[in-house]
Each structure stands twice: as structure tokens, then as C-alpha cells.
């Protein structure tokens, strides 16, 4: 197809602002899906995505509208997947920036709009849900205009739910979004903006062809990684897979690689032809590094092999997931896993529990620290227990956070951000009622309970999003927890010196409440190095005996004893102290406990 | 095997069921006492081969044995094989001078009186029918009938029981100078009517009640009683001639000896086999009326289980369990830990062979210590 008749665009929106519904409606209006086949939210294929209302994997669907080929590229809605979002945006020339007419601009709208602007996309502001009784389309249009520097009357007003205004969106896509401008005759280049794994056909790459064309049977080279394979099939989604002879410059579709390992074809790669390779890859490829880490342990240590298998299988579909074996004295065998962010961690955990039926104990999330040792060696630490005692300096990752809050919540947000070592950048009024605050915050302060605190302090009105902003030095210490004099490796934390005392006290209080009394006094301590900063004692039990053993019913007594013995086996042994798993869980959920 | 020298006979009938009770009891059906005694006698005839006579002990428990219609009770007592210790359990409100005389005349050597408490509000909570005065009167009826081995059953940890209430109960019990006392902690089983009514109160009081057991032990031993089993106390021989006033029948259980049980819900252990009769009165009566053994739940005890039970029960005794009997069942590393923590001691008791003996604190933590030793 002539590039002038192609338009590639995506939809960006804050969660629940109607992105998926709008995508469904576009498929319906263009006849790509008939009403009968219409499943709500066709593009979200995983159950989990459907339930959480978020999209994990980007996909692209081709529709025809008034003699044009429109490719709708779906993007993940959350910044944990910023890199994937930006790859998806790089495959487009424009984006619909969707805002809920009742909610207005939210933090994700801001973060995603900035990403789109950085990628030189033509933004079409769309005010959605105008059918809602509480809708304020004019207010929402003004907020968008303020954000993107446009005039409010440029915003399209639609209801994805009723279909009102959807055809006008498609017309505007053709009129306002520029066509692709690649070289159809040059050496072929395509951007891999996403991939998925099919157990029979291997890695399926979602590609945007920039220059030249790709056809089935052609030997292909991934330029950054040097991976070579043959294109087994090319085609597009409409919305089901449609094989095609070629994908040519400007087009979006899929390419089946036959590769059995997602890690061999990363998102962001440039594909070219082995026989006539391009001289340079497309700009911007980078290897995605996990920023958030946590230990994953099976509740029942017998499930370790199942957990290993499950992680292997998840990894097939999620190249950004990383893990390595971890052994904890308290929790046994598990894996230290790296995630793109907190949401990514939550999704992985839920998938492990739901799809693989595993019971997991997840340690408190931590971030990647860069440590310089006295000998000048640089190490990256992913587990607080591995934080060396001798260190010259420690750097921690920072994020650029956008927080949107009603104006009477600004004080609360500022207070929280200051508590969390935030550096104020600037603030602006999106409307007379709503304020955008920009802060730089240590990621380590966010992984605890920042979002929960933000929600509770603003009665749920604040929205929050972040993007990584590099590493900076911090006055960080390792806080250890000792039970009965033995350090509990799984409970070690790295945190700022100033918050160590308060958190140490909270941890110790909580453990004292959760660890059942033993046959001897058990000290519970929090320590920085060899210095104890908080201490409590679990008093020894004074009595543990069922007085009655009577009437010859010895079997009952023995069964009670067996139950007690089984109870002991479920305990995790820390030195001589038996600690129930619930105690670890309670401590790991410290933040929820603190809120109560 | 020479056969069991201990016989238990279950008399399930009660005037009313107390809220906390979880024994097999039958309320009402007074008309069936005779029929039930017939069945007991028939069961005894069927099982007599398992006994080795003369018996060491016979124990009539319940239920309320003394609620059984006197004629039927007398007929039963006369039908039982002879023994050295014959104990009957009694509820205070059923004890009359006539009943006391009847028991004495029929050769009963020991009575166990279910006092439970002397505080009216606690007796009410327990749904007991006797008032404190009735309890005391019953005790003296037995003394008047010249019983010289009377045991009192008492309960602590009753919802609403204050420390002062417990101290008063201890005072009143000691004032009667019984030869033997059993102090049981109230067990509120989940899901029972009693727990439903009093569970919250008990949970609220649990911290306060934690030292009740310790108090009971201190007061009993201070008053010259021997704490010979976790929940049982008897007068020291020095205070009462040369008599060993421990319950010989219950010692049989705790030392792992064979015993035969008759009646509904009764348990027997003979050799490697344990069985429990059906708890259903109708089923039991029908079987024995037809000359058949009643429906039973049978459990075969492996040598390992027997060894484990020996340790579990033996550790409840002040004399402990012989090291020779325990070594194959216990975790030696746990033993070292527990000895170091001063919960267990190993040593000859009064020149006897080496035994594992719990220390005072070890006995108060007995379930935990046992679970650790046997783990």
C-alpha cells in the first residue's frame, strides 16, 4: 500500500479512561469485528489484563477506513512498561490522548503525553465518556489543552460506550496524523515494538516496517543482538492473524521468527534483511534493566521446583522478568527476582499464584543499589542482605514523579514527598481546581507504601506516575532484624539513615506481636551494623499443657500432640526460635499494618 | 501377655448435660438403666478373657455413675470382678447418706467427687446443678460412710473466674482435706455451645489466667500434696501413714498398661490393639441384647506409636519416663537443648534407673516440651 494511505496511531490514556473500550468501538465501526463476534475489549487477551483493566502486551490491529489502512497500536497503560510504551509510540506517527470527561487529566495522562511529545507524535486530544451524567467535557478539554499546549476546541468529544463521535475520530486520524515517511526502496528496516511467545511457533515479533519490505522465507538479522533467523510468516492482525505476502514500508504487522527464546529478540531491536542489510539500526535500542527486586519463596518449601518451572515459563513471554536462585536462612530456597517496577512485580506475583497455583511469600521489595567498595570496586546490590558492610558510597535510583491532586490536597502531598526525601521540581495548575506537582524521589521510598499513603492522605483523589531519572548518592544504611540474637536475612532492609529508627521500631513491635511466645524469652532487635536501635522481648510462655488426660482416651491426646508437632514443622526456624510464616507476612505487609 | 489388670466401666446417665462437658453422656431415658447394666454385664462376660484376675483396679466413670438408679448400680457393683482399688465417680447432688453407705457396703474403696468449684457464679457458668453447700455436704456424707480415700475434681480457667475466686476455691478444697485432688483446666472446644457463649470472655481473660496453673501447683505442694501427675495431687505418704494415695487406676493409663473399657464410648487398650465402643446407646444395647460385641472403632498401635505414647504419658508424671523406654522415641539433639534450657533433667529418681524427668517449668510447658522431644 502507498504510504500516503497508511496511518499508524495508538491510544494513550490514564487507567480506566476508556482506552480499551474505544479500541473495541473502532474495530466495530470499521467492520473489523462484527457485532456478534464483539467481545468487550478484544485487544486484551489475557484474563488477568481483563480483570485488572490494564494491558500488559501491546498488539496492533489493522482496520480499513475510507480507502486508508489504519493501524491501531495498543500500548501498555502503565509506566512500569515505559520502555514498551515508548517503543510502541515509536511505531506510530500520532496518538489519541484520551481523557475521561468526568475525571480530567491524570498522572498517567501526563506521563504518557510527555512520552508521546518526546517521540514527535501528532496528538489528537479526545474527551471520552461525555455520556456520563457527571461529565464535564469543557473542563476536561481545557485541562488537555493546558497540558499539550493546544486550544480546547481541538479536542474531540466522544462516548466510546455509545459510539458517539467515533467515526469523527477516524476521520481526524486520516486528516491530522501524518503518513509514514520511510524509504520503500531502501534496505529493509523494521522496529520490533513488542513480542509474544507461541509454544508452537516461537517468538512472534510485532514490527513496524520503516524502510523496504519483509517477506516470508526471507533470512532476517536482528541488528543489536546479531540474532539470525528466517521469517517463517509475515502478516497482520485484523483482529485475528492474517498472513500476507509482504509487509512494506509504513506497515505494521507480525513476523514469526521460530526463535525459542524471547531473550534472543528484545523489544526495541531493528530487523533487517541478511542479504541486503541496512547500514545502521534504528536509534534508541536499550536493554531494559529491572529496577525493583524481591525474593519469591514458596510457602511450602516442597513447591520450589514448581516455582522454578513457573518462572521459566513466565519468562518465555516476559523478557523483562529476571530471576536467580536465592537461599534464605529463614525462608529456605527461592528466587531473587527483578521487575521493571511495582506493578510488574504485582502482575508476576498474581500470575504465579493464579496461573500456576503457587502459594508465595514475597519479601519486601527493594531497588537496585550501586555500591562502591573501599577498594574502588563497583557492585550492584539487589538484596539488602548482600549490602556490604564496608562501602565508600551508595547510589540509589531516582524517579521523576508526576502527582495530580485537587488543590486542597497539595499540602498533604508535599508533606508526604518531603518525608520521602522528595526534591520539589515545580507545580502547575491544570485547572483552577487541580494541580500537577513534579518531584524527584528515590525509588526506594516509593516501593514501600508511597502510593497507598498518597491515596489515603488525599482520600483517593491523587494520581501518580513516574519515570526513571538516574542514580544518585544517598546516606543509606542496612537495617537488620535479629530474633533471639540471630539475624533474619529475609527481613533486612536498605533505607535512609533518618528513617531507620522509626522503621526499626515498627518492625520490632510488629514481630513481637506476631511471633508466638516460646519456652524461653526471645529478644527481637533492630540493628544498624552492630548498634541496636530498637529492642523488644517476647516473654516466655508460662504454661503450655492441656491438663486433662483422662478416661483412657490416649489416642485423642496423641492426636493433639501430633497436631502440635505438625504446627512446629510449619514454622520457620530462626536459631532456636520458631517463627510462623504469618509473622513474616505481617512484617512484609508492614505498611498496611501501619495504616490500621 | 497376661491380660489387663485395669477395668473401666462407663455409666453415661446424667440428670442434665453441663455446658463444658465433652464426655459421652445420656440425659433422660431413666427407664433404661437396668437394660444398660444388663448390657455391661453381658459385655464383661464377652471380654472376660482379656482380663487377668484378680484385678488391680476398677473405675466407674461417667456420665454420673451415682445418678444410675441405685438398684441397677448395686447389681453392677456385685457383678464386677474383685480388685484392690474400686473407684466410683460421684456428682454432689446425687450423694445421699444412703448412697454413700451403699457404695461402702459394695466394696468401693475410693470416690471421686466432681466439685468443680465452690463459687456459686462459677458453678452457674459451668451449668452445674449443685451449690457449694451441696458439694461440701456430699463430701461429708462420704466421710461419714467412712471413706478414707476421697478425691475432689476441680476446674480452673472458668470464664469470669478471678484470681481471688481461684484462691477461694483452693482454700475451700484444702479445708476439706481430701486425700487426692485433680485440677483440670477448662477446655473450651471450638464450635461448642459453651465456647459460643463464653469464648470471648475466655479470650479476654487468657492473659490473666496464664498463671492459674502455677498458682494451683504452688498452693497444693505448699499444703503437703504431691504433684505426681500434671493435673493430679495426692497427700504425701508422710502425712498419711504409709499409704500411696496416687490413683492406681489412672497410673495404669499413664504407665502404658493394658486396660479394658466397658460401656458406650469406652476405650480399651490390650496389647497392640485399641478400640473404642460406639457412643450410641441404642446401637450398644441392641448388640449386647443379641449377645454380640458392640460396634467398635479399632486402632492398631505400632511399636513406634506405643513408644511415643509411653513418653507422652510418662513425662506427665513426677517420676518421669525411664530413659531405657524413651531413647528410641526421642530426638537426642532436642533433649540436649531442653536440658540446657532447664526444662528436662536426666537422672535416677530416688536411686531408681535413669529417667527423663521434666523440671517444674518443664511440666508447666509439658505439651511443647513433649512435642519437641518427640519431633
* Grid coordinates given for A168: 469523527
C-alpha to C-alpha distance for B107 and A122, rounded to whole angstroms: 107
Question: A586: distance to nearest CA of chain B, Å?
Answer: 22
CB within 8 Å: B213 and A545: yes
- A547 and B230 within 8 Å at the Cβ level: the answer is yes
Q: Are residues B308 and B244 in the same domain?
A: no
ω into residue A430 within 30 of 0, thus cis?
Answer: no
Whether residues B230 and A557 touch (CB distance < 8 A) is answered with no
Residues of B in contact with A520 (CB under 8 A): 341
Write the DSSP assignment of B60-85 as a string of letters. EEES-GGGS-HHHHHHHHHHSPPEEE
pLDDT at position A108, please?
Answer: 79
Which residues of chain A neighbour B213 with C-beta distances below 8 Å?
542-543, 545, 547
Give the best residue of B89, B331, B366, B373 to mutate against chain A (max A CB count within 10 A). B366
B103 and B163: one domain? Answer: yes
Domain that holds residue B344: 303-374
Cβ contact, residue pair A519, B368, below 8 Å:
yes
Q: Which of A367-371, A514-518, B245-249 has the lowest mean pLDDT?
A: A514-518
Look at residue A193 in the predicted model and tell me its pLDDT.
Answer: 87
Would you say residue B264 lies in a domain? no
Residue B281 placed within a domain: no
Residue A37 has pLDDT above 90, yes or no: no
pLDDT band at B79 (very low <50, low <70, confident <90, very high): very high
In percent, how much of chain B has pLDDT > 90? 75
Contacts of A560 in chain B (CB under 8 A): 367
> Is a pLDDT exceeding 60 seen at residue A549?
no
How much is the average pLDDT of A527-532?
Answer: 93
- Out of A547, A554, A561, name the one closest to residue B184 (CB): A547
Q: Which residues from chain A sit within 8 angstroms of residue B305, using beta carbons?
A: 558
Averaged pLDDT for residues A589-596: 49
Cell of A388: 556490604
Q: For position A55, what pLDDT does the model report?
A: 38
Average pLDDT over residues B74-79: 97
Averaged over A166-178, what is the pLDDT? 95
DSSP string covering A161-186: TTTBTHHHHHHHHHHHSPPP---TTS
The percentage of residues in chain B with a pLDDT greater than 70, rounded to a whole number, is 98
Domain of B174, CATH number, reads 3.80.30.20
Neighbour-count burial of A594, counting CB atoms closer than 10 A to its CB (0-12 exposed, 13-18 middle, 19+ buried) = middle
* pLDDT range class, residue A39, cuts 50, 70, 90: low
Check which CATH number belongs to the domain holding B365 and give it: 1.10.10
Closest-CA distance, A549 to chain B, in angstroms, reads 8
Q: CA of B62 to nearest chain A CA: how many angstroms apart?
A: 9
Q: How many helices and strands in chain A, by DSSP H and E?
A: 14, 34
Q: Categorize the per-residue pLDDT at A479 as very low, low, confident or very high, splitting at 50, 70 and 90.
A: very high
Half-sphere exposure of A497 (CA within 13 A, CB side): 7
CATH placement of domain A189-273: 2.40.30.10
Q: What is the pLDDT of residues B190-214, one digit of tens each?
A: 777 888 888 888 888 888 888 999 9
Answer whether residue B229 is part of any domain.
yes
In this model, does residue A20 exceed pLDDT 90? no
State whether B364 and A576 contact (CB < 8 Å).
no
| Chain B residue nearest residue A540, CA to CA | B365
CA distances from A60 to A70, A142, A237, A541 (A): 10, 30, 7, 63
Average pLDDT, chain B: 92
CA distance A223 to A265: 10
Whether residue B32 is found in the same domain as residue B101: yes
Chain centroid to CA A155: 30
For residue A56, pLDDT over 50 is answered with no
- Average confidence (pLDDT) over A320-335: 88
Q: How far is A328 from chain B (nearest CA, A)?
A: 23
- Domain A371-474, classified CATH 3.40.50.920, yes or no: no
| B223 and B351 housed in the same domain | no
Q: Tens digits of per-residue pLDDT, A93-120? A: 999 999 999 988 888 788 788 888 878 8
In this complex, the residue of A545, A549, A568 whose CB is nearest that of residue B365 is: A545
B321 located within any domain: yes
The 8-class DSSP code of residue A79 comes to G
Q: How confident is the model at residue A57 (pLDDT cuts 50, 70, 90)?
A: very low
Q: Are residues B90 and B150 in the same domain?
A: yes
> Distance between CA A74 and CA A56 in Å, rounded?
10
**Which H, E and C letters describe A470-526, residue by residue?**
EEEECCEEEEEEEECCEECHHHCEEEEHHHHHHHHHHHHHHHHHHCCCCCCCEEEEE
Would you say residue B249 has pLDDT above 80?
yes
| Distance from C-alpha of A306 to C-alpha of A176, rounded to nearest angstrom | 52
Decide which of B253, B284, B317 is a domain's last residue.
B253
Q: Considering the domain boundaries, does residue B279 fall inside one?
A: no
Range in A9-18, A359-368, A391-400, A564-573 the model is least confident about: A564-573
The string of pLDDT tens digits covering residues A438-457 is: 999 999 998 877 887 888 88
Query: Can you tell me the distance from the alpha carbon of A93 to that of A177, in angstroms, rounded to the nearest whole number?
Result: 6
Q: Which residue of B has its CA nearest to A553?
A: B267
Q: What is the pLDDT of residues A289-315, one digit of tens each?
A: 788 999 999 988 889 999 999 998 888
pLDDT at A452: 79
Contact state of B368 with A564 under an 8 Å Cβ cutoff: yes
Pick the CATH number of A3-176 from 3.40.50.720, 2.60.260.20, 3.40.50.300, 3.40.640.10: 3.40.50.300
B250 vs A contacts (CB less than 8 Å): 550
Could you tell me how far CA B39 lies from the centroid of its own chain? 24
Q: B267 contacts in A (CB within 8 Å)?
A: 551-555
Q: Does CATH number 3.30.70.870 belong to domain A292-363? A: yes
Let me know whether B326 and B234 are in one domain. no
Q: Same CATH fold, A477-595 and A3-176?
A: no
Question: Contacts of residue B20 in chain A, CB cutoff 8 Å?
Answer: none
- For residue A81, the model assigns a pLDDT of 64
| Confidence (pTM) | 0.66
pLDDT grade, residue A550 (50/70/90)?
low
User: What CA–CA distance (Å, rounded) separates A123 from A12?
Assistant: 10
CATH class of A477-595: alpha beta
Per-residue pLDDT of B14-67, as tens digits, reads 988 888 887 888 887 767 999 999 999 999 999 999 999 999 999 999 889 999
Q: Check whether residue B309 and residue B189 sit in a common domain.
A: no
How do residues A196-241 score in pLDDT, each as one tens digit? 887 788 888 999 999 999 999 999 999 989 999 999 999 998 877 8
Q: Which residues of A touch B187 (CB under 8 A)?
A: 546, 548
The pLDDT value given to residue A76: 63
Q: Do A543 and B364 touch (CB under 8 A)?
A: yes
Check whether residue B154 and residue B38 sit in a common domain.
yes
* A/B interface, count of CB pairs below 8 Å: 100
Model confidence band, residue A80 (pLDDT cutoffs 50, 70, 90) = low
Query: Within this chain, do residues B248 and B351 fall inside the same structural domain, yes or no?
Result: no
Average pLDDT of the segment spanning B344-362: 85
Nearest by CB to A542, which of B184, B214, B371? B214
Q: pLDDT class for A58, splitting at 50, 70, 90?
A: very low
Show residues of chain B in contact with A576, CB under 8 Å: 337
Count the alpha carbons within 13 Å of A426 in the hemisphere toward its beta carbon. 3
A574 CA: distance to closest CA in chain B (Å): 15
Residue B286 included in any domain: no
Instruction: Give CA separation, A479 vs A111, A504, A534, in Å.
Output: 34, 7, 11
What are the cell numbers at A481? 532484624
Q: Tell me which DSSP letter residue A66 carries.
A: T
Mean per-residue pLDDT for B297-324?
93
Query: CB distance B231–A547 less than 8 Å?
Result: yes
Note whether A519 contacts B369, CB cutoff 8 Å: yes
Order of strands across the sheet that contains A189-198? A227-230, A219-222, A270-273, A189-198, A202-211, A252-256, A233-237, A241-244
B232 in the same domain as B91 = yes
Nearest C-alpha of chain A: how many angstroms from B30?
24
pLDDT for residue A596? 38
Residues in chain A: 596
Residues B318 and B233 both lie in one domain: no
For the residues of B106-119, what is the DSSP string, one character each? TT--EEEEEEE-S-
In a domain, B298, yes or no: no
Which of B215, B237, B253 is the last residue in one of the domains? B253
Check B375 against A554: CB less than 8 A apart. no
Q: Which residue of B has its CA nearest to A550?
A: B250
Residue of B nearest to A559 (CA): B309
Which of these three, B253, B268, B285, is where a domain ends? B253
Counted domains in chain B = 2
Cβ-defined contact of B266 to A545 (cutoff 8 Å) = no
Q: Which three cell numbers stand for residue A88?
A: 510502541
Q: What is the pLDDT of residue B112?
A: 97
Among A49-53, A163-167, A334-338, B170-174, where is mean pLDDT lowest?
A: A49-53
Q: Do A552 and B253 touch (CB under 8 A)?
A: yes
Does residue B275 belong to any structural domain of this protein?
Answer: no
Contact: B337, A576; criterion CB under 8 Å: yes
Mean pLDDT of chain A: 85
How high is the pLDDT of residue B196?
86
Do A543 and B312 lie within an 8 Å CB cutoff?
Answer: no
Name every chain A residue with its beta carbon within 8 A of the beta carbon of B60.
none
Residue ranges covered by each domain of chain A: 3-176, 189-273, 292-363, 371-474, 477-595
What chain B residue is nearest to A575 in terms of C-alpha separation?
A: B337
Nearest to B76 by CA among B152, B24, B12: B12
- Cα Rg of chain A (Å, integer): 27
Flag if A542 and B364 touch (Cβ within 8 Å).
Answer: yes
Cell of B194: 459453651
In degrees and rounded to multiples of 5, residue A400 shows phi and psi of -100, 115
**Domain check: are B245 and B308 in the same one?**
no
pLDDT of residue A77: 53
Residues of A in contact with B343 (CB under 8 A): 519
Chain A residues within 8 angstroms (CB to CB) of chain B: 519-520, 541-555, 557-558, 560-561, 564-565, 568-569, 576
Contacts of A547 in chain B (CB under 8 A): 183-185, 213, 230-231
Amino acid at each position: 500500500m502507498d504510504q500516503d494511505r497508511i496511518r499508524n496511531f495508538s491510544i494513550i490514556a490514564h487507567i480506566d479512561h476508556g482506552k480499551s473500550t474505544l479500541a473495541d468501538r473502532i474495530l466495530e465501526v470499521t467492520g473489523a469485528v462484527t457485532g456478534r463476534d464483539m467481545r468487550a475489549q478484544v485487544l486484551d487477551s489475557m484474563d488477568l489484563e481483563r480483570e485488572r483493566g490494564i494491558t500488559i502486551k501491546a498488539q496492533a490491529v489493522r482496520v480499513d477506513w475510507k480507502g486508508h489502512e489504519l493501524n491501531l497500536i495498543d500500548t501498555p497503560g502503565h509506566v512500569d512498561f515505559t520502555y514498551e510504551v515508548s517503543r510502541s509510540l515509536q511505531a506510530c506517527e500520532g496518538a489519541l490522548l484520551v481523557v475521561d470527561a468526568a475525571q480530567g487529566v491524570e498522572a498517567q495522562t501526563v506521563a504518557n503525553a510527555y512520552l508521546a511529545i518526546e517521540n514527535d507524535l501528532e496528538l489528537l486530544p479526545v474527551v471520552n465518556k461525555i455520556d456520563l451524567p457527571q461529565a464535564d467535557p469543557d473542563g476536561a478539554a481545557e485541562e488537555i489543552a493546558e497540558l499539550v499546549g493546544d486550544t480546547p476546541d481541538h479536542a474531540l468529544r466522544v462516548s466510546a460506550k455509545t459510539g458517539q463521535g467515533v467515526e469523527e475520530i477516524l476521520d481526524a486520524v486520516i486528516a491530522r496524523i501524518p503518513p509514514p515517511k520511510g524509504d520503500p526502496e531502501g534496505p529493509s528496516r523494521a522496529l520490533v515494538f513488542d513480542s509474544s511467545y507461541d509454544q508452537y511457533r516461537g517468538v512472534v515479533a510485532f514490527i513496524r516496517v520503516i524502510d523496504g519490505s519483509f517477506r516470508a522465507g526471507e533470512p532476517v538479522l536482528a541488528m543489536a543482538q546479531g540474532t539470525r533467523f528466517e521469517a517463517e510468516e509475515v502478516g497482520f492482525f485484523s483482529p485475528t492473524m492474517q498472513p500476507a505476502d509482504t509487509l512494506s514500508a509504513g506497515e505494521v504487522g507480525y513476523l514469526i521468527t521460530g526463535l525459542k527464546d524471547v531473550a534472543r529478540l528484545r523489544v526495541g531491536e531493528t530487523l533487517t534483511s541478511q542479504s541486503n542489510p541496512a547500514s545502521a539500526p534504528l536509534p534508541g535500542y536499550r536493554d531494559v534493566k529491572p529496577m525493583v527486586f524481591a525474593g519469591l519463596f514458596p510457602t511450602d518449601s516442597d513447591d520450589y521446583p514448581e516455582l522454578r518451572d513457573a518462572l521459566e515459563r513466565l519468562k518465555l513471554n516476559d523478557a523483562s522478568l529476571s530471576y536467580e536462585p536465592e537461599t534464605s536462612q529463614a525462608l529456605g530456597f527461592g528466587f531473587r527476582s527483578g521487575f521493571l517496577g511495582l506493578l510488574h512485580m504485582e502482575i508476576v506475583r498474581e500470575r504465579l499464584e493464579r496461573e500456576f497455583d503457587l502459594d508465595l511469600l514475597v519479601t519486601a521489595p527493594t531497588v537496585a543499589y550501586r555500591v562502591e567498595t573501599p577498594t574502588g570496586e563497583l557492585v550492584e546490590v539487589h538484596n539488602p542482605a548482600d549490602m556490604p558492610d564496608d562501602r565508600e558510597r551508595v547510589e540509589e535510583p531516582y524517579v521523576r514523579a508526576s502527582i495530580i491532586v485537587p488543590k486542597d490536597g497539595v499540602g498533604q502531598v508535599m508533606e508526604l514527598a518531603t518525608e520521602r526525601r522528595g526534591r520539589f521540581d515545580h507545580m502547575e495548575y491544570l485547572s483552577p481546581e487541580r494541580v500537577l506537582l513534579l518531584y524527584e524521589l528515590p525509588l526506594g521510598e516509593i516501593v514501600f507504601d508511597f502510593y497507598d499513603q498518597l491515596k489515603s492522605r488525599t482520600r483517593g483523589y491523587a494520581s501518580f506516575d513516574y519515570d526513571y531519572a538516574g542514580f544518585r548518592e544517598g546516606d543509606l544504611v542496612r537495617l537488620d532484624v535479629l530474633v533471639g540474637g540471630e539475624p533474619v536475612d529475609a527481613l533486612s532492609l536498605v533505607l535512609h539513615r533518618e528513617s531507620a529508627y522509626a522503621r526499626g521500631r515498627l518492625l520490632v513491635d510488629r514481630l513481637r506481636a506476631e511471633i508466638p511466645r516460646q519456652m524461653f524469652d526471645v529478644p527481637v532487635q533492630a540493628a544498624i551494623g552492630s548498634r541496636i536501635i530498637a529492642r523488644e522481648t517476647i516473654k516466655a510462655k508460662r504454661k503450655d499443657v492441656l491438663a486433662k488426660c483422662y478416661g483412657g482416651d490416649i489416642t485423642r491426646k496423641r492426636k493433639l500432640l501430633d497436631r502440635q508437632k505438625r504446627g512446629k514443622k510449619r514454622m520457620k526456624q530462626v536459631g532456636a526460635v520458631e517463627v510462623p510464616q504469618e509473622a513474616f507476612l505481617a512484617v512484609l505487609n508492614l505498611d498496611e499494618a501501619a495504616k490500621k | 501377655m497376661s491380660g489387663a489388670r485395669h477395668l473401666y466401666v462407663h455409666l453415661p446417665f446424667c440428670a442434665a448435660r453441663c455446658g463444658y462437658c465433652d464426655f459421652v453422656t445420656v440425659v433422660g431415658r431413666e427407664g433404661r438403666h437396668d437394660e444398660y447394666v444388663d448390657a455391661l454385664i453381658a459385655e464383661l462376660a464377652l471380654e472376660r478373657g482379656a482380663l487377668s484376675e484378680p484385678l488391680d483396679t476398677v473405675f466407674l466413670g461417667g456420665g454420673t455413675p451415682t445418678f444410675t438408679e441405685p438398684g441397677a448400680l448395686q447389681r453392677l457393683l456385685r457383678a464386677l470382678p474383685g480388685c484392690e482399688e474400686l473407684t466410683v465417680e460421684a456428682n454432689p447432688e446425687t450423694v445421699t447418706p444412703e448412697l454413700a453407705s451403699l457404695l461402702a457396703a459394695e466394696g468401693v474403696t475410693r470416690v471421686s467427687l466432681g466439685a468443680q468449684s465452690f463459687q456459686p457464679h462459677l458453678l452457674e457458668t459451668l451449668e452445674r446443678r449443685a451449690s457449694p453447700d451441696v458439694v461440701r455436704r456430699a463430701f461429708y456424707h462420704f466421710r461419714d460412710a467412712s471413706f478414707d480415700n476421697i478425691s475432689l475434681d476441680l476446674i480452673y480457667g472458668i470464664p469470669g473466674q478471678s484470681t481471688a475466686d481461684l484462691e477461694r476455691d483452693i482454700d475451700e478444697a484444702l479445708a476439706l482435706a481430701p486425700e487426692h485432688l485433680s485440677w483440670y483446666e477448662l477446655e473450651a472446644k471450638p464450635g461448642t455451645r459453651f465456647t459460643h457463649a463464653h469464648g470471648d470472655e475466655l479470650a479476654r481473660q487468657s492473659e490473666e489466667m496464664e498463671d492459674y496453673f502455677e498458682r494451683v501447683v504452688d498452693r497444693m505442694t505448699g499444703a503437703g500434696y504431691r504433684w505426681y501427675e500434671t493435673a493430679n495431687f495426692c497427700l504425701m505418704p508422710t502425712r498419711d501413714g504409709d499409704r500411696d494415695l496416687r490413683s492406681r487406676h489412672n497410673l495404669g493409663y499413664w504407665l502404658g498398661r493394658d486396660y479394658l473399657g466397658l460401656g458406650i464410648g469406652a476405650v480399651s487398650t490390650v496389647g497392640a490393639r485399641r478400640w473404642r465402643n460406639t457412643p450410641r446407646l441404642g446401637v450398644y444395647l441392641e448388640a449386647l441384647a443379641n449377645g454380640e460385641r458392640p460396634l467398635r472403632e479399632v486402632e492398631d498401635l505400632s511399636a513406634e506409636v506405643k513408644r511415643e505414647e509411653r513418653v507422652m504419658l510418662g513425662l506427665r508424671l513426677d517420676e518421669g519416663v525411664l530413659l531405657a523406654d524413651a531413647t528410641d522415641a526421642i530426638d537426642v539433639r532436642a533433649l540436649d537443648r531442653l536440658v540446657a534450657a532447664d526444662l528436662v533433667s536426666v537422672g535416677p529418681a530416688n536411686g531408681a534407673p535413669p529417667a527423663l524427668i521434666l523440671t517444674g517449668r518443664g511440666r508447666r510447658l509439658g505439651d511443647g516440651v513433649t512435642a519437641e522431644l518427640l519431633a
